[in-house]
Amino acid sequence: MTRVLFVCTGNVHRSVLAERLLAARLPPGAALRPESAGTQAWHRSRMEDTTRAVVEELGGDGCRFTSRPLTAQLVVGAGLVLGLAREHREAAVRLAPSAMRRCFTLKEFVRLADGGGAEGGGEFDAVVAAAATRRGAAAPVPPAEDDIPDPWGRPREELYECALEIDRAVSGLVRLWGMRQTQ
């Protein structure tokens, strides 16, 4: 089982949305296990009620979630680490520098992996390696293109827009790896 670790700040909104929406989009029996953690998470905080409602509205499972802090062990054990903003990717690399070639922002990874003309069906490790190689060759983009803004304390509409942006990106992951979506 290959772990895909999503990272945000509190592990109560963005990374949870990514974890649960990717899980909902993967086909049954997929060899990927989405997980999440936060750079400033409190161990065992529950999912915010509004986030849970949005996850469920978009077809994800809002039950049995507890937040957890990001650790070096989580980063090292993941096949791919996807921050929801550049600061999260950087925090993961600081904890485990050896994982740098497997740490991206979610949108950066989809952009770089798509940049190789992938039509889907790529092997997980090959897609990750190709994206890491393209990172050094691709022109830099403004942070807004790779970061997903934090909806903390914002109106529900902004949380929902954030969830839709994350859903588009995780659906891109499923497409890149050539997996049939379940929704």
Per residue in 37-96, pLDDT tens? 999 998 777 888 999 999 999 999 999 999 999 999 999 999 999 999 999 999 999 999
CA distance 13 to 22: 14
CA distance 84 to 34: 14
CA distance 29 to 34: 13
Checking if the pLDDT of 1 tops 80, the result is yes
175's CB contacts (< 8 A; 6+ apart) are 120, 181
Checking if the pLDDT of 122 tops 80, the result is no
Q: How many CB atoms lie within 10 A of CB 100?
A: 16
- For the ranges 121-125, 127-131, 154-158, which has the lowest average pLDDT? 121-125
pLDDT for residue 180: 47
pTM value?
Answer: 0.94
The angle at the Cα of 127, spanning 121 to 132, to the nearest 5 degrees, equals: 165
pLDDT for residue 183: 45
CA distance 167 to 175: 12
Give just the sign of the alpha carbon dihedral 148, 124, 175, 117: positive
CA distance 63 to 144: 31
